[in-house]
Amino acid sequence: MGCSIAGIIDESGKRFSGEEIIRSIKKMFLRANGLGGGFAGYGIYPENKDDFCFHVIYNSEKVKEDTENFLRHDFNILKSEPIPTRSIEEIINRPLLWRYFLKVKQEVRKRFYEMTEEDIVMRSVMKINDASAGAFIISSGKNMGIFKGVGYASDIGRFFRLEEYSGYCWIAHDRFPTNTPGWWGGAHPFGLLNFSLVHNGEISSYGINKRYLEEFGYKLTLRTDSEAILYLFDLLLRKHNLPINIVHKILCPPLWSEIEKMTQKEQDLYRTLRIVYSNALINGPSAIIVSDGKIMFGFSDRIKLRPLVAARKGTKFYLASEECAIQEVCSISSGIHFPKAGEPAIGYLNNK
Amino acid sequence: MKTLTFPDFVINRDNEKCIQCEVCVRQCAFDAHTLDKETNKVETDIKKCVGCLRCATMCPTGALCVSEYSQKIRKNCNWNEKQLKELYKQAETGGVLLTGMGTDKDYKIIWDHILLDAAQVTNPSIDPLREPMELRTYLGSKPSKIDFRFDISDLKLKNLQKGILKTKLPPQLKIETPILFSAMSYGAISLNVCRALAQAAEECGIYYNTGEGGLHKDLYKYSKNTIVQVASGRFGVNPDYFEAAAAVEIKIGQGAKPGIGGHLPGEKVTEEISQTRMIPSGTDALSPAPHHDIYSIEDLSQLIYSLKEATEYKKPISVKVAAVHNIAAIASGIVRAGADIVAIDGIRGGTGAAPTRIRDNVGIPIELAIASVDSRLREEGIRNRASIIAAGGFRNSGDVVKAITLGADAVYIGTAALVAMGCHLCQKCYTGKCNWGIATQDPYLVKRLNPDIAARRLINLIKAWSHEIKEIMGGMGINAIESLRGNRLRLRGFDLHDNELKILDIKPAGESL
Ligand code: SF4
Ligand code: SF4
């Protein structure tokens, strides 16, 4: 499939309007067919930056009520409001779109002392999404949110009034779906906790990645490979506490023949990674951008069957499927970088 | 007593072509061909023919044709020819029926009802001749995660060298293709066959398995590619035996005869075999049905850890069991008992000798066993703790790919390897008169199998299958075997019952993701 992906991070942490990422992704509209688009923005809720923010899609008022009752078991709801939208004729049949700012209740933390706050959030998200009762949590991190739906990404961006938000990191996706029907929850980015991910491709290893994740309690309700990749990041970065470079080497490991040429110490490391995490290898054509608010990480599959371009200008770092999307928002004459197969391109948030 | 049974085969000798060279007379250890001293003519007694085709293959003029005996009893689906012959035989001997190789009953072969996927349009296929395609597999226990220490402030971790890998992997067996040679003991097969298997394993970067018959001194040099077995008879078990192995396998059972021990008759226990098995020559080598020190899972655990101690935790310990009804729970117990590898042998697994009734009726198909064991271990979150080797009638690379996609790490092949060396599946291995020089200790017959040529045939087979596996993987858009393993979404069932689909955990053909 020919989806497009894009991402911009200001490594100094300076926030900028969502308008920029809309323009970037719009430039590649030929790669999409209007069946899904979306954005993730980081740093957009500074006044609630320490609270979990849930963006939720509802089918009906009734489910909303049930879901809120369920959320009240584990969370104090600090704020509950509709996600602001504007009426535009391109976007029709929109579901109920709601956002909450939440804190995990103290008593719940005490009762489940073996779980982190994140584990408790993940458990609730998995429960609600897995029930497929008409409520779907599309993002659940702190000081970040995902905005997505059925339509071209640029229309979705206008619909959600993203130009009114400012964030230091944005990623976007415009979709040409082949494997799942158009549905608001099925558009990219996919999110869990602070992670958000956009993906162009189709992975041939999905079946085993899914079974592997299920062993760790992840519920893959969407039947899409992108969701699996997102959870792999969550598992490896957050739960297994591995640095991003190692995670990348797990998802896209070097060939055995390359490993054999390394120093003994490197061989030990890479061999161990491949042996222990064989179920997490991502196979098949993919270009992926993922962020957790601290980094923006882009990579393609081991034999680069999907495009990815990177560039840096000033404190900003850009990723996109095509160079034109970067040129659109920052004209650069040099410094465009075409990462090789399996080579990552990373932007880091520098401010502490 | 006059026998009422009738022949299985007819041998047709074309007298125009026959040059009376007596090759067939010398080739047939069952004496189906003899020279009539009076007439000086080669005669044939079809009742003795076992259908191994040795004579027809060796006849220099192509004068011989072996075919099924055409004289038929009245057709009866219930009381068919096979049933009658077995009844006559038992009425005439009063004995338990014996046989060799895997069951020949026409049980449904589930492999033939499982279909593989291929990439089209959205996901390109990969040409294995142009792109790398990795089959390498590591067998052994894996930790569920690694412990990698790094300085959190150095988020960029520009230099991975700075991090420290704390995790030490348990011992692993590296295989270059997910196929190993199944346990076949010296005694059941000839030393030449063992040599061929060992040589081929070495050349292919895989392993062969000694079976329970000990390890002949000549084979110690292949230790890097050797899995030794410890079975209920404990034949040939000594410190050097462990030293000379890459891994040790505890044999609890085998697919052809679950719950049954083994019996190598004294006449086959030659001087060499007696040395290797460490028993007096000429005495029967008896493998009791159970291990006399294993009556529960704790006992198995003790044996596993004794072997780990004996090998200083440097070698993976495998436990081989027959696929029986409760296989998922049994496998889970074995993993929890500390095994690094679980080898599971399905109902179609072969043998040198087994009671026919056991071989043909006990156990379950390996397809279902792989699926239920892999699912169970994943449910329990212990799949990483052991590798699964599946065995029992793998006929071709398609079966292998399907087994791995269901969840096996690798497969053991026995029958297919013997066929590659010349076996014609006559099922007379238990007689010790194998005309193909495989399942025999008779020096005259043993000579027939040249170990170097047999090794070459085995190497060709493994190479061919590996190429085919790569071709299939490439078609699926997969370039590393770990992405195939357990990836059941790439399988579909065709003409399978709902229950079978449920246990295999695959969708029916025609159903999309
Ligand atoms: S081997 Fe062939 S040619 Fe020779 S005696 Fe037998 S049938 Fe005749
Ligand atoms: S090994 Fe020999 S005796 Fe056994 S089935 Fe094969 S050809 Fe017949």
Enter the tokens of residue B439. Answer: 């399942």
Average pLDDT over residues A298-327: 90
pLDDT at A36: 87
User: Strands A144-149 and A37-42, how do they pair?
Assistant: antiparallel
pLDDT average, residue stretch A211-238? 91
CA A34, distance to chain mean position in Å, is 20
pLDDT on residue A199: 93
* pLDDT score, position A244: 87
- Over residues B207-214, mean pLDDT: 96
Rounded Cα gap, residues B237 and B239, in angstroms: 7
Q: Any CB–CB contact under 8 A between A110 and chain B?
A: no
Contact B169, B180 (CB under 8 A): no
B339-357 residue pLDDT tens: 999 999 999 999 999 999 9
Choose, out of B166, B401, B479, the residue to mutate when testing the contact with A (most A CBs < 10 Å). B479
Pick the residue of A9, A175, A205, A286 with the most B CBs within 10 A to test the interface with B by mutation.
A205
Query: What is the dihedral angle through the alpha carbons of B436, B440, B445, B447, rounded to the nearest 10 degrees?
Result: 90
pLDDT of residue A305: 82
Q: So what's the pLDDT on residue B161?
A: 62
State the pLDDT at residue A1: 47
Enumerate the residues of chain B whose CB falls inside 8 A of the CB of residue A292.
none
Q: How far is CA A225 from CA A192, B125, B166, B298, B504, in A?
A: 15, 18, 31, 42, 22
What are A133's two structure tokens?
A: 């009762």
Q: Is A256 on the interface with B (CB under 8 A)?
A: yes
Q: Which of residues 28-87 of A touch B (CB under 8 A)?
A: none
**Residues A80, A70: Cα–Cα separation, whole Å:** 14
* pLDDT at residue number B235: 92
pLDDT digits (tens, 9 = 90+) for A3-28: 899 999 999 999 999 999 999 999 88
Q: Evaluate: CB of B56 within 6 angstroms of ligand 1.
A: no
- Whether the per-residue pLDDT at B84 is higher than 80: the answer is yes
Say yes or no to pLDDT of A182 above 90: no
Say what the pLDDT of residue A156 is.
Answer: 94
Amino acid A304: pLDDT:
81
B480 pLDDT more than 60 = yes
Residues of A within 8 A of B134 (CB-CB) are 255-256
The CATH number for B173-507, chosen from 3.30.1360.70, 3.90.50.10, 3.20.20.70, 3.40.30.10, is 3.20.20.70
For residue A257, give the nearest of B132, B144, B486 by CB distance: B132
> Which pLDDT score is estimated for B149?
86
* Structural domain span for residue A110: 4-351
The number of folded domains in chain A is 1
Taking an 8 Å cut-off on Cβ atoms, the answer to whether B478 and A302 are in contact is no
Give the mean pLDDT of chain A. Answer: 91
Q: Which residue has its alpha carbon closest to ligand 2 atom 8?
A: B426
- CA B177 to chain centroid, in Å, comes to 16
**C-alpha gyration radius of chain A:** 19
Report the separation in Å between the CA atom of B437 and the middle of ligand 2, taken as the mean of its atom positions.
8
Higher-confidence residue of A145 and A221: namely A145
CA pair distance A180, A211, nearest whole angstrom: 19
Is the pLDDT assigned to residue B512 strictly greater than 90?
A: no
Q: What is the pLDDT of residues B376-428, one digit of tens each?
A: 999 999 999 999 999 999 999 999 999 999 999 999 999 999 999 999 999 99
Q: Tell me what pLDDT residue A179 has.
A: 56
Q: How far is B309 from chain A (nearest CA, A)?
A: 24
Of B144, B160, B488, the CB nearest to A245: B160
Window from A92-96, B372-376, B433-437, B507-511 with minimum mean pLDDT: A92-96
Contact A303 B490 (CB under 8 A): no
Ligand nearest to the CA of B55: 1
Residue B292 pLDDT exceeds 80: yes
d(CA B310, CA B220): 18
Say how many Å lie between the CA of residue A325 and the centre of ligand 1.
81
Condensed to tens digits (0 to 9), the pLDDT of residues B225-263 reads 999 999 998 999 999 999 999 999 999 999 999 998 888
Instruction: Give the lowest-confidence range in A271-285, B116-130, B413-427.
Output: B116-130
The predicted structure's pLDDT at residue A341: 83
The protein residue whose alpha carbon is closest to atom 2 in ligand 2 is B434
CA of B49 to the centre of ligand 1 (A): 15
Nearest residue of B to residue A263, measured between CA atoms: B161
Task: Measure A249 CA to nearest chain B CA, in Å.
Answer: 11
* B477 contact residues in A (CB cutoff 8 A): 204, 283-285
B59 lines ligand 1 (CB under 6 A): yes
User: Under an 8 A CB cutoff, do B478 and A284 touch?
Assistant: yes
Q: Which residues line ligand 2 (CB under 6 A)?
A: B 52, 100-101, 418, 423-429, 434, 436, 438-439
**Cα within 13 Å of Cα(B498), Cβ side:** 0
Segment holding A174, helix H or strand E: strand A169-174
Q: How many CA atoms within 13 Å lie on the side-chain side of A213?
A: 27
**Residues of chain A numbered 297-336 and touching chain B (CB < 8 Å):** 302-303, 305
Assess whether A3 carries a catalytic annotation: yes
Burial class (CB in 10 A: 0-12, 13-18, 19+), A110: exposed
Q: Does the structure show a pLDDT above 80 at B156?
A: no
- Give the pLDDT score at A212: 97
We report the CATH number of the domain holding residue A254 as 3.60.20.10
Token pair in block for residue B61 = 């003029």
Of A3, A53, A169, A252, catalytic:
A3
Per the CB < 8 Å rule, is B479 touching A303?
yes
* Percentage above 90 pLDDT, chain B: 86
CA distance B183 to chain A (A): 26
Alpha carbon A276 to chain centroid distance? Answer: 25
- Kindly tell me if the per-residue pLDDT of B159 is higher than 90: no
For ligand 1, say whether the CB of B21 is within 6 Å of any of its atoms.
Answer: yes
Does the beta-carbon distance from B119 to A268 stay under 8 Å? no
The CATH architecture of the domain made up of B9-95 is: 2-Layer Sandwich (3.30)
Locate all alpha helices (DSSP H) within B122-238, ordered by sequence: 191-204
Question: Does B472 have pLDDT greater than 50?
Answer: yes
The predicted model scores a pTM of: 0.93
List pLDDT tens digits, range A17-62. 999 999 999 988 888 777 889 999 999 999 999 999 999 999 999 9
Answer whether A242 sits within 8 Å of B148, measured CB to CB. yes
Average pLDDT for A172-201? 85
